[in-house]
Amino acid sequence: MKALVIVFLLTHLLLTGNGAFAQDRNFHIYLCFGQSNMEGNAKIEPQDTVNINPRFQVMEAVDCPSLNRKMGQWYTAVPPLCRCRTGLTPADYFGRELVANLPEKVRIGVINVSVGGCKIELFDKDNYQSYTANVPGWMKNFISEYGGNPYARLVEMAKLAQKDGVIKGILLHQGESNTGDTLWTKKVKVVYDNLMHDLELKPKKVPLLAGETVNADQEGRCASMNTIIATLPQTIKNAHVISSAGCTDSADNLHFNAAGYRELGKRYATQMLSLLGYKPVAVN
């Protein structure tokens, strides 16, 4: 009888211990959301699929049978990092740069839930339905891949990820479809505040990194939006704007090209490394 009690206690400790210590504090997770420039518009080139450190991982936010990936599971972060057929995104080189500069014990995970062409209103959990009711059919198809509610999918995946690691920051690239909207910063704050609440995060510990649209130096069609994006830190104290100056773009002057995404992603990483107390020394 005594032996049975001991076995029971040991089993209980093992089971509860696995639950208690499953979270790895050195697994840094970043949530990424926005429209097409975060979704990934540029064609993925051969250099983008090689030499990816397995310390850099992506949690798939949709089922991708063609990639042998299942929603809610982690994989080495070989692009695409958004949905099954999207392109290169700033998240690619954000993660690559982080693992190149952080201690070997640190792993990086990204979750990317983005929808090309969308306004920030799509991620407002209380009002998204009134917005999605009038979007074009092609966008509804993208949204449907997230169960009709991208914000809810982002939170669902984030909660799964929190069992494995710690959310360290949020990456946003959105604004083209809200160009000229002076209420944009307040709308972003609604989304940010909801994420903080729904994921039980502390704003002081979870910065929001927001990238500029294609810059005026590249004749960006929505470059005027950068004036509004620049004011985001006035609304969200822990927000940081990532400059797109010099980041090359595609012929439409709306989307970055592959080289532009690589550079922009590294700039997101440089900002995050600075916030973490590191100075970038490696170039990937």
Query: Active-site positions?
Result: 36, 252, 255
Distances (CA, A) of 262 to 174, 197, 214, 247: 17, 32, 14, 9
> Cα separation of 187 and 101, whole Å?
33
Contact (CB, 8 A) for 172 and 38? yes
Give the 3-state secondary structure percentages of the chain, helix then strand then coil, rounded to 5.
Answer: 45, 15, 40
> Cα separation of 23 and 41, whole Å?
33
Question: Which residues, other chains included, contact 8 with Cβ-Cβ below 8 Å and sequence gap of 6+?
Answer: none
Encode 155-175: b = buried (16+ Cβ within 10 Å), e = exposed. Answer: bbbbeebeebbbbbbbbbbbb
Rg (C-alpha) for the chain, rounded Å, is 20
Contact (CB, 8 A) for 256 and 248? yes
> Cα separation of 275 and 29, whole Å?
15
